[in-house]
Chains A and B, each alone.
Chain A
């Protein structure tokens, strides 16, 4: 396992949506969940997480509610909205198409041109 990768521009939103699509989480939980499912291969600036959450909430893709954390403290939980679910689906499709195209481009040999 090498050095964790920095995030590509615009991918944090997608990761957050994916993380909360598995169940409501507080901000710290989202961070842990992304690290867990990426097997610590992605590095996320903790400070940049919250502006992203606020932006997604403002856009209506996630919603928040105050609840109690595992260790009995008040924490703000985020969950995916219906609009967020649609958004995640279309983002995922876009990403997969884009990844195929880019990968294809990068695989190209000189004689294929």
Chain B
């Protein structure tokens, strides 16, 4: 099961017959396992990592530190939920340290992001402070080096 997940995490488009061969199992069995993993929400979604900068998009990514006042009973969860429901919000983590939530948002422009922070995020009840950082250049994302210059330098045939 772990091996299957690792293969899919690396390349979700791998056909079932190849997966089956690599895992020494039948195609049917692999398909069943994938279905089950999807049903159990262990596999959440199949995404594609896209180099949008290269495509020509100038989206703005902002990483925002958010401080909160926790609520009785639910702690940070209710506020986090209020934040992650916005489409602009890509990622939300509860953090240890000097702030509580790390929020990553994407917008079309600086203005767009600034607006969102000022009018939406800061105004949520329980949010006591925000500090925004703008991402300038991605080098590595989810284990993938964005501009990987390493290539196969081996000779074509060696003993």
**A and B interact physically:** no
* A interface residue numbers (CB < 8 A to B): none
